[in-house]
Amino acid sequence: MTFDPLRRPEDDVYISDRLVPGVVVIQGLKAERDWEERRSFGMMGAMLRYKGQKLSHFSLLVSLYTEEHWDDWLEFGPLIRRPPQPDRSQLAAITSIPSLHRVMRTQAPPLSIRNPILEEYRIRQVVVEDVLAPVEDEKGFWTIEIKLIQYQRPQRILSTSGGRDREAGTSRQDREIAALTSELNGLAAAGNR
């Protein structure tokens, strides 16, 4: 579903298929790209190489102002609180780097998240970076900030802006290089007879 606040004012946020209680505001959401500028000495301008999309760091501001909100929060809170310490049997099972990674993945797995605006940014999984203590404002509302980081497995993508389109054919220089290479290969083959 696309984000359309005027026609569909859907503002609920679900983490691991559980509704986040209270009134939730998403703050600091952005889709930053990582670009590398390649400049040459004495030249104006630069080539830009797209290095990928950065992970989004954003917050959920959860406002609780009724007893029902607080009751729901008490049930929801353990989902995002600190992960439990590993027990001794898990620590004893660590005999190699892969087994260490397996234990670490079970301690803080990514959580699924659902909201129309997050769908627009293609954010479907997050990890909890921090949960701040409740703060009361002058109206008696309590706000809890949940800091999240987008979780996405690495995917290989490389490109250069303004680069040559490989489908459109080769440049004049490439054609000359190919012709000279084939001529050189022909001369080398004739010399070996």
Q: What angle do CA 122, 124, 127 make, to 5 degrees?
A: 120
Q: What type of residue sits at position 6?
A: L
Sign of CA dihedral 27, 31, 32, 34: positive
* Residue of 161, 172, 157, 168 lying closest to 45 (CA atoms): 161
d(CA 125, CA 112): 4
Q: Do residues 119 and 52 touch, judged by C-beta distance below 8 A?
A: no
**Residue 159 gets which letter from DSSP?**
E
> Considering only 11-25, 34-48, 72-86, 141-155, which range has the smallest mean pLDDT?
72-86
Start-to-end Cα distance in the chain: 70
Predicted TM-score (pTM) of the model is 0.68
Mean pLDDT, to the nearest integer, of 10-27? Answer: 90
The reported pLDDT for the residue numbered 113 is: 96
Q: Which pLDDT belongs to residue 121?
A: 92
The span from the CA of 78 to the CA of 99, in Å, is 26
Residue 172 is encoded by which pair of tokens?
Answer: 């004049």
Phi-psi region of 22 (alpha: psi -120 to 50; beta: other; left: phi over 0): left
* SS3 category, 164: coil
Q: How confident is the model at residue 182 (pLDDT cuts 50, 70, 90)?
A: confident
113 and 15 in contact (C-beta within 8 Å)? Answer: yes
Percent of the chain's residues with pLDDT above 90? 40
Neighbours of 126 (CB within 10 A): 25
pLDDT tops 80 at residue 108: no
**Average pLDDT score over residue span 86-115:** 78
Whole-angstrom Cα distance, residue 144 to residue 146? Answer: 7
- Tell me the range of 100-104, 128-132, 182-186 where mean pLDDT is highest: 128-132
Helices and strands counted in the chain (H then E):
5, 11
Distance separating alpha carbons of residues 5 and 189, to the nearest angstrom: 71
Domains of the chain: 14-162 (2.40.30)
At 110-160, the pLDDT tens digits run 899 999 999 999 999 999 999 999 999 888 889 999 999 999 888 776 655
Question: How large a percentage of the chain has pLDDT more than 70?
Answer: 81
